[in-house]
Structure 1
Amino acid sequence: MKIIHVTNVIAPDKLGGLERYVRELAASFVTEGHEVVVISKATTPCAPEKESGEDGVLVRRHPSPPKSSRLFAIWYPFMVFSGVRRILREEVSRSELANGSTIIHAHFPVPTLALALLRIPFVYTFHAPVYRELVGERQGSYAMSRFGERMAVLGMKAAERFVLKRARVVLTLSDFTAREARELGVPSRKIRVVPGGLDEARFAWHGTSDGPATDDDGGRGPRLFAARRFVERTGVEQLVEAMPAVREAVPHITLRLAGTGPREADIRALIERLDLVGVVQLLGRISDEQLVSEYTKATLSVTPTLYLEGFGLSTAESLSLGTPALVTPVGANPELVAGLSPSLLSDGTSPDALADALIRLLNDQQALEALRRRLRSGFAAKWGWSNVVRQLNDVYEALLR
């Protein structure tokens, strides 16, 4: 079987949850013996148009307009449409689509418009309602007036409705995103929930990983860890604002933050203003190896989402490695910790709610140890790629038949 994924950006060009999901999904199907191509936009002018990764995934990149252009928002959909259409024509013919040997799996509305408008059959994974994320994720990264923003949101919502309508099957990673899809007009019979997407070899407790950091690791107290993109939606600033109260109740605590994003300068200023230099440590973009180390050495990880969480990959990674994760009652977060402990769900998204939840957890070491034992018994195996691939393979084969 040949599988063509159509997405916005692929890892490692960008290291968000969607980008990593598509890359690892594609690589997982390569290991099953399938030919896999990913169509993605180029994030830099020097990015190769065609690149075969060590994981066996062929990436085909198309150009997009520079974000510095004031006409970026206008030219972007046209250039993406043209690029996706050209690469599709090179990778698959109409007869190959008709004879049941190729599946096209899309993940983002704008490039998927090419499939919908050209009436090419496709499967669509609805990761999150992009129109609701658009303004917060942009954060001034390209020029657009307030009126332009409103028009862009309306346009993205219309695009999402259109591609969801044209998709043969709509896949979601959580019940939360399934509900969001239904709000956009997708009938329940067309939706299939397939949660997960974990590298079982890397993000799994094997009984040999380090435990939480101790004095020997250079720390004197508990360690919190969060891997987040630095945008408003992810709640990093609320977590930082919670730390003075947490530090007062739990001496010598540290918070380590992995990630980058348009709010980084504001977060650095907030750390200085709250006198948290040294308490809150910004790690920037880190390797997968360091990511695993940070999770396993953390006393507790935190997913402080302010709004919209389609799945919560960072939470799943933490739980898979045996480290309890505190989450906010937003999006799919509650689904991930369901069946573990009510204490892993904060009462809200405010700094006070986060501080109260963190203090309760950190002051109950017996409960934390019980949670670690529960997680290390294989709680997160259901999110592994082997399980995801099996379910998606069933979807693909049904459509090809």
Structure 2
Amino acid sequence: MQFNNSLRILSTGMGWPSAQPGGLNTYFKHINEALAEDHNLQALVSSAEKPVVKEGLQVTNVAKTQLKLSKRREAFRQHAAWLMDNQEVDVVYSHFAPYSVGVALEAKERNIPVVMTFHGPWSEEIKLEGSGLKHWIKTIIAKNMEMKAYRYADAFIVLSETFRSILHEQYQVPLSKIHIVPGAADIDRFKPSAQRAAIRERLHIPEGTTAVLTLRRLVNRMGLLQLIDAWREVAKEIPNTVLLLGGKGPLKEELESKIKEYDLQSRVRMLGYVPDHELADYYQAADLFVVPSQALEGFGLITVEAMAAGVPVMATPVGGNREILQKFRPDLLFAGKSSADIADGLIRSLRQKESWPTAEQCRIHVLEHYTWARVSRQVEGIFRSVIDNHLIAYGRNRNPRVLAERKGGHEKDVESSVFGSYR
């Protein structure tokens, strides 16, 4: 329900999780849904197919992902400019630096404040997944794009202390501009199930087997190679355990080769990509969730999702996972991020299952700290503060471009760049 003092928010993201799964897109979906409960919000994304959108939420697909990045960026800029010229916008809320540059510049030309959520160093993520001169040049271009986008922001939201430090130290953003607002879990969807035995039977998890689950993109920084090395030791020490490994990515063949080399075929099940509609079942079926991240874990969305479903989580002390578990059960953090640290921690924990937090304790911690209602209230508070400061500094002059200047070619370009608006 929207009230008279509701804000008019233009929100720009990367994609939508129904078409392009991932932590950033999942966060973007949920925060937009939460904010739209009380505010007039329009979201812009780039997607290969029609996003599946909650009724009442305004999401416009401005460019196909098959287009070159430069064309996608321009599509965001053009459509955002058209919206800002045709309706009042109180704040621009952006989530992905490459798509944010042009949108933020257009907002600045109209004296509209910009708030950016920093989901991590995009250029560093690229750097970790390749090598060679061309890859290095790609990394430099990405970093320059990020730096340009961040110059236009009035305030930043980060999901952890770790990312606040990175944003400040690597991108020279003043600490006074950075606000920490942790992410959240969909508590209505991810919750313990009374039908757990039936779910485990359907997923072919034998009775009496301890199921350890991880759901990760199959890339180096997620720590899956280290986890398989660790599981080799776990399998020797702890009988009747199986590792369920879900996800897709470039490490698939290397992981499968290592599983075969270690003769772990009966102790590790590669699930492949787990569709969004099956996630809750896998959480509810698991006995333990493990997050072996090696770098750039900004929050730990899957950590709080698993805990909301009543599953205890063990994780490396990296990024947001360290912050989540230190507040809850520090003993569930591995001593470090090496395969030896992960193996030692899992063996110790699996031998002492009676010490695990209960499903109720896991869920209560999420309900107290990591709900989307709580996040949206904090984000709204940041919006209002930024808007108030902007009005003090610049007054109410929006200085919109004359619409006549946008008639003809430009307006036609905007219309042709948009291939779907879904409400």
Q: TM-score scaled to structure 2, two decimals? A: 0.81
Q: For each residue in 1:312-349, what CA deviation from the matched residue of structure 2 results, as whole angstroms up to 9, or x when unmatched?
A: 10111112222111100212221010133332111222
Secondary structure in 1 matching 2:328: coil
* Alignment size in residue pairs: 375
- The 5 Å alignment of 1:247-286 reads 247-286=235-274
Q: For each residue in 1:289-324, what CA deviation from the matched residue of structure 2 results, as whole angstroms up to 9, or x when unmatched?
A: 532222222121000001110001011111222211
Within the candidate set 362, 367, 373, 1:375 is matched to: 362
Secondary structure in 1 matching 2:243: strand
Q: Report the equivalent of 1:23.
A: 29
Q: Say if 1:249 and 1:181 are closer, same or farther in 2 by CA, change over 3 A.
A: same
Query: Residue 132 of structure 2 aligns to which amino acid in structure 1?
Result: R
State how far apart, in whole Å, the 2-side matches of 1:52 and 1:21 are.
15
Shift of 1:281: 1.1
Q: Say if 1:285 and 1:195 are closer, same or farther in 2 by CA, change over 3 A.
A: same
Q: Report the equivalent of 1:327.
A: 315
Shift of 1:217: 5.1
State how far apart, in whole Å, the 2-side matches of 1:90 and 1:26 are.
21
Q: Is the 8 A contact 1:303 1:326 kept in 2?
A: yes
Secondary structure in 2 matching 1:269: helix
Q: Report the equivalent of 1:338.
A: 326
Shift of 1:90: 3.1
Q: Report the equivalent of 1:158.
A: 144
State how far apart, in whole Å, the 2-side matches of 1:60 and 1:390 are.
24
Percent identity of equivalent pairs: 27
- The 5 Å alignment of 1:164-179 reads 164-179=150-165
User: Could you say what the CA RMSD is over the residues aligned between the two structures, in angstroms?
Assistant: 2.6
State how far apart, in whole Å, the 1-side matches of 2:273 and 2:191 are.
21
Q: Say if 1:2 and 1:95 are closer, same or farther in 2 by CA, change over 3 A.
A: closer
State how far apart, in whole Å, the 1-side matches of 2:189 and 2:65 are.
36
Q: Report the equivalent of 1:147.
A: 133
Consecutive unaligned residues in structure 2, runs of 5 or more: 1-6, 389-423
State how far apart, in whole Å, the 2-side matches of 1:373 and 1:278 are.
31
Q: Is the 8 A contact 2:81 2:103 kept in 1?
A: no
State how far apart, in whole Å, the 1-side matches of 2:180 and 2:147 are.
18
Q: Report the equivalent of 1:129.
A: 121
State how far apart, in whole Å, the 2-side matches of 1:382 and 1:314 are.
15
Q: Report the equivalent of 1:86.
A: 78
Shift of 1:176: 0.7
Q: Say if 1:39 and 1:373 are closer, same or farther in 2 by CA, change over 3 A.
A: closer
Q: Report the equivalent of 1:72.
A: none
Q: Is the 8 A contact 1:136 1:231 kept in 2?
A: no
Q: Say if 1:197 and 1:339 are closer, same or farther in 2 by CA, change over 3 A.
A: closer
Q: TM-score scaled to structure 1, two decimals? A: 0.86
Q: Report the equivalent of 2:45.
A: 40
Q: For each residue in 1:200-243, what CA deviation from the matched residue of structure 2 results, as whole angstroms up to 9, or x when unmatched?
A: 211245x74638969x9524321100111111111112112211
Secondary structure in 1 matching 2:298: coil
For CA contacts below 8 A with separation 6 or more, give which structure has more relative contact order.
2
Q: Is the 8 A contact 1:115 1:122 kept in 2?
A: no
Q: For each residue in 1:38-61, what CA deviation from the matched residue of structure 2 results, as whole angstroms up to 9, or x when unmatched?
A: 22223x3xx35xx67234333323
Q: Say if 1:65 and 1:371 are closer, same or farther in 2 by CA, change over 3 A.
A: closer
Query: Residue 158 of structure 2 aligns to which amino acid in structure 1?
Result: T
Q: Report the equivalent of 1:7.
A: 13
Consecutive unaligned residues in structure 1, runs of 5 or more: 68-74, 140-144
Secondary structure in 2 matching 1:339: helix
Q: Say if 1:219 and 1:279 are closer, same or farther in 2 by CA, change over 3 A.
A: farther
